Structure 1
């Protein structure tokens, strides 16, 4: 792929004028939406890079998007999912002529409601907030006039656009899969007060229990992290279930490690499932059955929303759900139901 691809190169490939290419890449009138998309896709494929400096001087935009990630999601061992999503966002942004600036929101700044310097110094045109922030900080972010999009969480502030994976349905399908494999004693692992994602995954799990007329046992809701988001040792119930639905792959990995140290075998003694399909799903022994999150689709939506809002601040997209899919590995065992 050559780095000095010009509009003329794109025009020649499609047999059209470079003026048409210019109009399409700059979202000007006079080109059909279908052709615009075709031109943009080819530009991306050919590695075309917009002349950002010239454009920013002309249009008064920085062509930077701030990506805010709370510090608790970047702590050692917790960063794999969010780092992967951030890298995907930056790739999507670069293909659109923008750059992503990562801003780690530390605990103190979040508590004191301090806005990022990249905002006060006018270094960005909008924000993607990746990972759940506190209610107070959501209100602070709401007060700034720049376009913003929440990614991987939402809350009662329905006027802020958000892109999330379909946590509810993913966990519901996964719990149903355990039911199909004969499991009836199933625990959920996750702090229900931590994030909207964990809450929705728990509710999907609970819906499956309700549909199968299985009582929700309080001691089958196992805490995995403290109020700051740091992982804690998972306390097992006195009467163990046959299966565990974990709110993410890393927690499933931690649980498998704990159970193995106690002398148990997965899946012979217990079935364990996760969520995300990140690196922890494959480094766990055995590999985890999990829900794959479509991070590319989520990043595409978040970037599209924030860039559209830069062009037209009145635009609103609401809450968008991106469907995941179950990836089957070897952490689930079929069991025969005992007649009671």
Structure 2
């Protein structure tokens, strides 16, 4: 079987970026004739086949919206972004668009590999679910000059639309809710080095504790993931707090299991509150009190902005921050 030639090979031989090679194959005008001829010559010699000019101008419309998601957020037991994707899919159908999903793995991130939906110009714009490194977005995605909307994270130094939850305020609210139930020793579950949202949730928790002069104890901070975002077992020591705030419902679900394995009763011996309001909060025994993220609102915003861009409507860059909602269930007790 004949080996498939890649754009990366062509870019390595010619000495230009993969983005430049893609621009040549798609009849972009911002590449010099000399570079175009070199790229086309090498492509012909290697037998590379491409579809020239799939989208040749900003006025042409493919009717496709690309959805980019880091692979780590689509692990078998992860469903938060799956739910957001379902909402986006429904909103896209209402507006007459198809969605094309592109899952980005760690190797692609490390090598700044470009998703095929971009290099082959298959989409009118991108919606990115979950936090991607800033360098990857700026170096591998933004050069394609198509609309990009960020969902559940934001970049301060880039003119890109985004919609995020007010994670700081939501965690502050959740901590004060536990304090109103009589809890003074409250722990936090999450690795602040993995995502900005977890950092913000941790800081909201710290603010509430400090305002009440309650200590934030290092031994009460648990991690369910290491610094590379890989899941790890809880390291639970003696002298537990009376309550925990978890950075998501999955973390809360497995914390409850771990505490129950130790012989503790939830919420009689320890209260637990989660974040997101996904399936883990419902399937848990007891059901988990949580902060609900408005996933449907995120989807509507993302598609509304994309629709305006695709149809060449004038619009400003929006960095929208929305509230979360406290959902009381069975995992918190007054003391």
- Aligned partner of residue 296 in structure 2, secondary structure: helix
* 1:46-101 alpha-carbon deviations (Å, 9 max, x no partner): xxxxxxxxxxx9x52111010000000011212x1111100100100110111111
Aligned position for 1:77: 77
- Aligned partner of residue 200 in structure 1, secondary structure: helix
- Report the aligned-residue RMSD: 1.9
- Aligned partner of residue 103 in structure 1, secondary structure: strand
- Displacement of 1:313 in angstroms is 7.8
State yes or no: 1:103 paired with 2:102: yes
Contact 1:158 1:318 in 2 (8 A): no
Contact 2:127 2:149 in 1 (8 A): yes
Q: How many residues align?
A: 279
Structure 1 gaps of 5+ residues are 1-56, 336-340
Aligned position for 1:164: 164
Q: Kindly report which structure 2 residues correspond to 1:97-246, keeping only aligned pairs within 5 A, or say none.
A: 97-140=96-139, 141-246=141-246
- Displacement of 1:158 in angstroms is 4.1
Aligned position for 1:40: none
Structure 2 gaps of 5+ residues are 1-56
CA distance in 1 between counterparts of 2:309 and 2:227 reads 34
Q: Kindly report which structure 2 residues correspond to 1:288-307, keeping only aligned pairs within 5 A, or say none.
A: 288-307=288-307
Aligned position for 2:12: none
Q: Which moved more, 1:134-143 or 1:262-271?
A: 134-143
* 1:106-137 alpha-carbon deviations (Å, 9 max, x no partner): 11111111111011111100000000112321
Aligned position for 2:249: 249
Q: Give the structure-2-normalised TM-score.
A: 0.79
Q: Give the structure-1-normalised TM-score.
A: 0.78
Q: Kindly report which structure 2 residues correspond to 1:10-89, keeping only aligned pairs within 5 A, or say none.
A: 60-78=60-78, 80-89=79-88
- Displacement of 1:102 in angstroms is 0.8
- Aligned partner of residue 143 in structure 1, secondary structure: helix
Contact 2:292 2:324 in 1 (8 A): yes
Contact 1:150 1:163 in 2 (8 A): yes
Aligned position for 2:317: 317
- Displacement of 1:264 in angstroms is 0.8
CA distance in 1 between counterparts of 2:126 and 2:94 reads 17
